[in-house]
Amino acid sequence: MDTTASGETNQSQSALIAALNAKLLREQNLPLAIVAGLATALVGALLWMGIVVATGMELGLVAIAIGAGVGYAVRYAGKGVTKTFGIVGAVCTLLSCIAGQSFAVIHAVAVDQQEGFMDALNQVGLSHVLESIGENSNVISYVIYGIGIYEGYKFSLRRVTQQELHEAGLTQPASPAAPGQTS
């Protein structure tokens, strides 16, 4: 981008950046991101319940894994570059953690009362579930859930690749290193 006046370079680069931004915004798909986030959140909640049932313990690392999984699903499906997509990932992660804990509580009630999961689901009230979640959570749990929610936010946002920058004319192509040189 050699020009005689730096003003022309800045102006043309600004136009290229604006064109790339417009392209990225056109490619976003919020409804698909929401569907992918919710579907992954449901799978994460069931995974959470399965781990609690199998181990008898609530492992906070599951919240972090759910956040990463939800975030990647939202990013892949939605191709979002705006904060809205990060918020979708964070909210879906939060919903997944709450649902996973709720499913685990309902399963415990079902086992305690020797009935099926669906029967326990019909009997257990929301207040009982929330009370049980509150009793079984501590500060460390909330910190780990916060990390999971942050992961859901962070991984939901699309990153602009070097190839996209090059195609937009914002970078020079990488030149191969000469023999005997390292980059």
Query: Tens of pLDDT along 37-64?
Result: 999 999 999 999 999 888 887 777 899 9
Interatomic CA distance for residues 67 and 37, integer angstroms: 10
Residue 53 CA to residue 152 CA, distance in Å, equals 24
The rounded distance, in Å, linking the Cα atoms of 90 and 111 is: 32
Query: Domain residues for 78?
Result: 26-155
Q: Which residue has the higher pLDDT, 78 or 125?
A: 78
Write down the mean pLDDT value for the chain. 83
Predicted local confidence at residue 71, as pLDDT: 96
pLDDT tens profile 66-114:
999 999 999 999 998 889 999 999 999 999 998 998 888 888 888 888 8
Does the residue 3 lie in any domain? no
Q: Is there a contact between 77 and 35 (Cβ–Cβ < 8 Å)?
A: yes
pLDDT of residue 142: 85
The total of structural domains in the chain comes to: 1
Is 173 part of any domain?
no
